[in-house]
Amino acid sequence: MTGSAALVSVDPDAIAANVRTLAAASRGELMAVVKADGYGHGATRLARTALAAGAGRLGVAHLDEALALRRDGVDAPVLAWLVAPSSDFGTALAARIEIAVSCVETLRAVASAATDGRPASVHLQVDVGMARDGAPPGAWASLFAEAAQLERTGRLRVAGLMGHLANAEDPAHPGNAQGTAGFTAARELAGSHGLRPQLLHLAATAATLHLPRTHFTMSRVGAGLVGIDPAGRTPLRFAMTVNAPVIGVRRVPAGTPVGYGSTWRAGRATTLALLPMGYADGIRHCAARRAAVQLAGRRCPVVGAVSMDQVVVDAGDAPVAAGDLATVFGPGDSGEPTPRDWARWCGTIPHEILTGLGTRLDRTAAPTHRVPALTGAR
């Protein structure tokens, strides 16, 4: 690369350690969720690392995400759950992708895309309290009846039953017990239709860590792989570090206005450092006035408005020079901010910080968690 892009590095050891923490907490097997390019970490890279550390299956939202894993040679079972009745199920089934289904129309479309002698493997998805994806309770009976009918034709096999909790990040929330009871009821109703799904999965990361009654036979974990405990309790390790090179330095007198709108003025003579990362790259515009990066061994505040491509940080009297690396976020070992800090500064969740990085970052950096030397010897 040309040296003016921010650098993303991903620590496979952190991911592996997180998988082990999640596996130790879970009563069932683990499905590693690698949607949204592996929560920004690279889907195939995250998938391979999680599988090597003990996950048995993969999950994604879109069929295209599942197909991309297959194109990269990932062979493990993959489930995709965000499909439309009009999706290309023939291509998906040919690639041995399992499909989560929440309505009769999609169920029929999947079954008719199956080739003779090779039933489509589906997971029936039920809504247990978030009115998002999944069949609403009033539609369970007709979905199960149709699935049982199609199973008898040999065109379909119900491999799993799937639900998702709305409030697991708050383990004490009463919705967790309600959702779990709903899932148990769905399982019983499925059984009464003659369905015997082997994979029963309700828990995502937060429930895997904090709600053992939700574990059934499998957990789907995504956020936890990359270091996020949505409940903010477990010492998982953030796997991603973003470093940005200083591409310009200037000494300015007190009163100097910085950036669009002159929203900040230097309170005293100081050194300003320019970083080649702006809101198009994932430094949120709303982070101005709160955010900081780690530069020259200290926290340096982002000053002035965040531009599309660049931000200015106030390095004070630190001896910074072009070519030094600022750490935008990382696991926190060297005092750098974490994705959780950025989430707080931006009024969002760490998931959005990690998945919101732009396409201009250099993702070819060696997979390491080591923060490069902050200031070179000069």
Ligand X SMILES: *Cc1c(COP(=O)(O)O)cnc(C)c1O
Distance, in Å, from the CA atom of 129 to the CA atom of 167, rounded to the nearest integer, reads 9
* CB distance 186 to 127 below 8 Å: no
* CB distance 278 to 308 below 8 Å: yes
Q: Give yes or no for residue 204 binding ligand X (CB under 6 A).
A: yes
Residues 158-187 that bind ligand X (CB under 6 A): 164
* CB distance 99 to 161 below 8 Å: no
Binding mask 79-108 for ligand X (x = CB under 6 A): --x---------------------------
Of 6, 12, 33, 35, which residue is the catalytic one?
35
Distance, in Å, from the CA atom of 306 to the CA atom of 310, rounded to the nearest integer, reads 7
Interface with ligand X (CB under 6 A), residue total 12
Give the interface segment with ligand X, choosing from 217-225, 257-265, 287-295, 342-350 (CB under 6 A): 217-225
* CB distance 292 to 300 below 8 Å: yes
Rounded to 5 degrees, φ, ψ at 57 are -145, 170
Which of 131, 377 has the CB closer to ligand X? 131
Q: Is 35 a catalytic residue?
A: yes
Of 260, 265, 321, 347, which residue is the catalytic one?
260
Residue holding tokens 């069932």? 28
- Minimum CB separation of residue 61 from ligand X in Å reads 6
Which of 40, 230 has the CB closer to ligand X? 230
Which of 35, 41 has the CB closer to ligand X? 35
Question: Among candidates 258, 250, 363, 360, which has minimal Cα distance to 309?
Answer: 360
Tally the residues of the chain: 378
Residues 29-58 that bind ligand X (CB under 6 A): 33, 35
Q: Is 260 a catalytic residue?
A: yes
- Minimum CB separation of residue 240 from ligand X in Å reads 15
Residue holding tokens 């330095």? 249
Residue ranges that bind ligand X, judged by CB under 6 A: 33, 35, 81, 164, 204-205, 220-224, 230
